C-alpha cells in the first residue's frame, strides 16, 4: 500500500460520521441526501455523466443541478455524546417566582 492509499483509507471508511447534503435544481426543487446518496451523485458528476441518477423515491437530473453542498456532519451511534453529557435539562422558572423577579427589578429601576 502506498502512502497516498494509506492516507485515503480513513476518509473512505469513516463510518462514525453521518452527513446531510442538499441538492438544489434549476427548477427550484430541493432534495436532502444522505452521505451515501451524495457519494453516488458526486461520482456520477465526476465521471461526466449527464443522465439522471435514480434513488428509491426520487431522481435527480444532473444537468439541472445548480447547487450541491454539505449541510451538516454529525457523529453517529456509540460515538455520539448523550444529551445529558452536553447540556443540563431546561427547568422553567415557576410563574409566581418570575413575577416576583420582575417586580423586584422594576422597583430597583424606579429608584434611579
Q: One digit per residue, pLDDT tens: the chain, 112 residues?
A: 444 444 444 444 567 788 899 999 998 889 999 888 999 999 998 988 888 888 888 889 989 899 998 988 877 766 666 666 566 777 888 999 999 999 999 888 877 6
Residue 70 lies in a domain: yes
Phi, psi dihedral angles at 28 (to 5 degrees): 70, 10
**Is residue 100 in some structural domain?**
no
Residue 46 inside a domain? The answer is yes
User: Is the residue at 8 inside a domain?
Assistant: no
The count of other CB atoms within 10 Å of the CB of residue 62 is 18
Element (H, E) at 18: strand 17-25
Residue 51 belongs to what domain range? 14-83
Residue 64 lies in a domain: yes
Beta-carbon contacts of residue 35 (< 8 Å; ≥ 6 apart): 17, 18, 19, 21
Q: Which residue stretches of the chain are H helix?
A: 3-12, 35-47, 83-86, 95-110
Q: What is the pLDDT of residue 110?
A: 79
Q: How many domains does the chain have?
A: 1
Residue 89 in any domain: the answer is: no
Q: How far is CA 36 from CA 21, 49, 74, 85, in A?
A: 10, 18, 14, 29
pLDDT at residue number 13: 54
Do residues 67 and 27 make contact, with C-beta atoms less than 8 angstroms apart? no
Amino acid at each position: 500500500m502506498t502512502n497516498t492509499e494509506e492516507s485515503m483509507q480513513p476518509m473512505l471508511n469513516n463510518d462514525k460520521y453521518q452527513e446531510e447534503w442538499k441538492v438544489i435544481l434549476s427548477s427550484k426543487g430541493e432534495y436532502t441526501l444522505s452521505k451515501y446518496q451524495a457519494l453516488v451523485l458526486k461520482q456520477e458528476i465526476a465521471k461526466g455523466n449527464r443522465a439522471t441518477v435514480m434513488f428509491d423515491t426520487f431522481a435527480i437530473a444532473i444537468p439541472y443541478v445548480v447547487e450541491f453542498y454539505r449541510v451538516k456532519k454529525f457523529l453517529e451511534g456509540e460515538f455520539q455524546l448523550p444529551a445529558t453529557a452536553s447540556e443540563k435539562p431546561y427547568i422553567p422558572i415557576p410563574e409566581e417566582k418570575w413575577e416576583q423577579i420582575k417586580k423586584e427589578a422594576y422597583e430597583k429601576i424606579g429608584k434611579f
